């Protein structure tokens, strides 16, 4: 897996190296959305450490298949992800963000099959996540951040979460150029407390990003998440999707809004049960940052 990650990093890094070195002006400029073009807003919203404040709704419709199923099942997850980054330091040359993710999940309860071979369905709150990152306030070129990531056993039903408190390191590195945005966002969780009857966890997620900007607030590319379950049997640990999506950023009544549609298909997955298809729709309005000068 280290070889795979290293190779993917090299592949993602090549398109935008010509604009990789940020200037001093890039490092201290505050992001004011009312003064930015839709192209610049679209590029900056790819950066988890952007100083833009935003509210993201992300809808995921997932088709599940595998040897454990007779046919297929579907799952729906709606994420609410507010982002309120804070610039700090003498010249506001650093950024900190603690970004929560609130999931509403509707899916099959695999521990509760019905008599006809189908599964009962459960809907409700899933496990809340929190990603905390800090790094230089850099709007263009090489953008990086380090921090921690957490999961909390907030699910309203056992079928909707893992029942464990989890924590681990997080890191991101992006190259935001005029035409290309490439990079990785890495998170790892170990369980350390929670329901003693639930299985312990050790899981790595990394999102690989490759997007080409098109004038007029458009972009095309991908940003799926690879998952590695280190507790699973060898050969059944990796879930690797590929994707191709389109993004459009507009201003609705003066409010910048970023919309994305991205179908994803899993090319490497566990045999027993895994997502085969996932269709993602994302709606992100930018809101005013009262702390911006």
- Length of the chain as a residue count: 293
pLDDT at 7: 46
Q: Which domain holds residue 45?
A: 2-15+32-287
Q: Is residue 170 part of a domain?
A: yes
Q: Is residue 24 part of a domain?
A: no
pLDDT at 94: 95
Q: Is residue 21 part of a domain?
A: no
pLDDT at 9: 43
Helix then strand then coil, % of the chain, to nearest 5 = 10, 60, 30
Beta bridge partners of 72: 65
DSSP-based three-state secondary structure for 186: strand
| Structural domain count, the chain | 1
Q: Is residue 125 part of a domain?
A: yes
pLDDT at 116: 62
pLDDT at 2: 40
Taking the CA atoms of 262, 265, 269 and 273 in sequence, report the sign of the dihedral they define: positive
Q: Supply angle C-alpha 104, 80, 268, rounded to 5.
A: 70
Q: What tokens appear for 31 in the block? A: 């992001």
What kind and span of H or E run contains 2?
helix 2-13
pLDDT at 291: 73
Spans in the chain with pLDDT lower than 70 = 1-31, 113-117, 292-293
pLDDT at 14: 41
Q: Is residue 22 part of a domain?
A: no
Q: Is residue 80 part of a domain?
A: yes
What is the Cα–Cα distance from 45 to 47, expressed in whole angstroms? Answer: 5
What kind and span of H or E run contains 12?
helix 2-13
Q: Is residue 23 part of a domain?
A: no
Q: What tokens appear for 3 in the block? A: 């070889």
pLDDT at 232: 96
Q: Is residue 162 part of a domain?
A: yes
pLDDT at 190: 98
The pTM of the whole model exceeds 0.95: no
What is the Cα–Cα distance from 164 to 32, expressed in whole angstroms? Answer: 39
CATH number of the domain residue 269 falls in: 2.40.160.40
Decide if 145 contacts 176 (C-beta within 8 A). no
What is the Cα–Cα distance from 16 to 111, expressed in whole angstroms? Answer: 47
């Amino acid at each position: 897996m280290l070889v795979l990650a290293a190779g993917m990093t090299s592949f993602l890094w090549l398109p935008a190296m010509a604009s990789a070195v940020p200037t001093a002006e890039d490092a201290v400029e505050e992001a004011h959305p009312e003064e930015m073009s839709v192209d610049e807003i679209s590029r900056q919203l790819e950066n988890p450490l952007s100083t833009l404040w935003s509210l993201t709704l992300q809808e995921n419709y997932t088709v599940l298949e595998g040897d454990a199923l007779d046919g297929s099942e579907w799952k729906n997850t709606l994420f609410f992800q507010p982002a309120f980054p804070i610039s700090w330091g003498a010249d506001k040359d650093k950024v900190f963000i603690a970004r929560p993710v609130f999931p509403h999940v509707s899916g099959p309860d695999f521990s509760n099959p019905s008599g006809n071979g189908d599964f009962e369905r459960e809907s409700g709150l899933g496990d809340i996540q929190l990603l905390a990152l800090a790094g230089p306030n850099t709007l263009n070129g090489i953008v990086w951040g380090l921090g921690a990531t957490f999961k909390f056993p907030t699910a309203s039903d056992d079928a909707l979460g893992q029942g464990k408190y989890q924590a681990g390191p997080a890191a991101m590195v992006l190259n935001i150029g005029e035409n290309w945005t490439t990079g990785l966002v890495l998170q790892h969780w170990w369980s350390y407390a929670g329901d003693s009857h639930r299985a312990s966890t050790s899981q790595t997620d990394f999102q690989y990003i490759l997007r080409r900007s098109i004038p007029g607030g458009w972009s095309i590319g991908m940003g799926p998440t690879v998952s590695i379950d280190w507790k699973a049997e060898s050969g059944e640990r990796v879930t690797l999707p590929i994707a191709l999506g389109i993004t459009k950023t507009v201003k609705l009544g003066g409010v910048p809004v970023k919309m994305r549609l991205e179908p994803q298909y899993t090319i490497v997955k566990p045999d027993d049960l895994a997502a085969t298809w996932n269709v993602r729709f994302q709606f992100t309005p930018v809101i005013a940052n009262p702390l911006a000068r």
